[in-house]
Amino acid sequence: MISLTEKIKQKAFEIGFHKIGIAPADSLTHEREHLEQWLNSNLHAEMKWMEREPEKRTNPKLLFPEAKTVIAVALNYYTPHNHESDQNKGKVSRYAWGDDYHDVMQEKLRELLNWIKAEIPDAEGKICCDIQPIMDKAWAVRAGLGWIGKHSNLITKDYGSWVFLGEILLNLELKYDNFIESDHCGNCTACLDACPTNAIIEPYLVDSKRCLSYATIELRAPKLPDEIVNDLDSWLYGCDVCQDVCPWNRFQKETEEQRFEPRENNISPDLHKILSLSHDEYIEKFRGSAMKRTKLSGLQRNAKALLEKNLEKNENDAFEK
């Protein structure tokens, strides 16, 4: 007779998740120490929300007191498209090409939780997907989905690092996966070598202040720092360099989730059109998109920086000729 645990896993795959693992809802003691060291070193820059309630981030029972189990899932989002090489266009990180992953992931998690509740009337749970204060990558490791690469992203053997992560905290005890994936980065330093701003200051340690993704998405300053602008390399929103060069991403597979297919002009948006957007046009264009995270002011700040840098480069090239 098939167990509830196996039924849950089968249902997760039916819903469209690509990996699933199950772990006991224990505190993440080692992970909390690492988080606090990172915070104390001010490597989170201006992301002050990271400082709030670190104990809640590492103890699922503070999020959901009845939690006995963490169901961790991964959703492949890779689509095989490329950025355009055009000075007047900016590059967008692959994760933001299609619909907002929060919406897609939460819908699937809710469907899975509702199915569990229908199977077991006493079942209760809480879904988590990035928004909640929970360490998604740490739980993915605990559940055997993959390992943390030197660029600090989760890497899976099956899909590389192009995966979104989510969890269900459940009040039921299930059969736990007693498997932890080994670190398969070995001596590779591709991500460290390729990072345009040397944001990966040592293996497994990222300085947010140097990171293009942080600067173009999270930083709320009216102007990007010069050291960031000098190495933007056309990145308008986010940066995929460390993932693009990762050897494990040769195992990338095209996702079946159509909502992750790029929206129109969302891979390489025209920078002049970004600058000309009104607030209402911005709301309409990026409704249901992860790109709303940076707000119109941040997106236009980034576009302006890219155009000014391109103009400066063109003038220098002309002078040298």
Q: Which residues are catalytic?
A: 130
Q: Identify the H or E element spanning 22.
A: strand 19-24
What is the strand order of the sheet 19-24 is part of? Answer: 19-24, 69-76, 163-170, 125-128
Quick one: which H or E segment has residue 58? Answer: helix 54-58
User: Residue 205 contacts by C-beta under 8 Å, 6 or more apart in sequence?
Assistant: 38, 43, 152
DSSP per-residue string spanning 177-188? ----PPP--TT-
Report yes or no: 51 and 28 within 8 Å, Cβ to Cβ.
no
The values of phi and psi at residue 314, to 5°, are: -65, -40
Q: Of the candidates 158, 168, 223, 133, which has an alpha carbon nearest to the alpha carbon of residue 18?
A: 158
